Amino acid sequence: MTTSENTNDGRKQHEKRISDLFPDALIAEGFGDCILGMVEGFNQPMAVLYDKTKVLAKLQESMEEDEAVEYYEYNILGSYVGTFTPLYAIKMENLDG
Q: Round to whole Å and give the CA distance between 21 and 15.
A: 10
Mean pLDDT of the region 26-52: 93
Q: Round to whole Å and give the CA distance between 59 and 62.
A: 6
Residue 57 has pLDDT above 70, yes or no: yes
In degrees and rounded to multiples of 5, residue 32 shows phi and psi of -60, -35
Answer yes or no: are the C-beta atoms of 28 and 76 closer than 8 Å: yes
Which pLDDT belongs to residue 67? 98
Which pLDDT belongs to residue 29? 85
Q: What pTM, to 2 d.p., does this model score?
A: 0.84
Which pLDDT belongs to residue 8? 67
Q: Round to whole Å and give the CA distance between 3 and 39.
A: 29
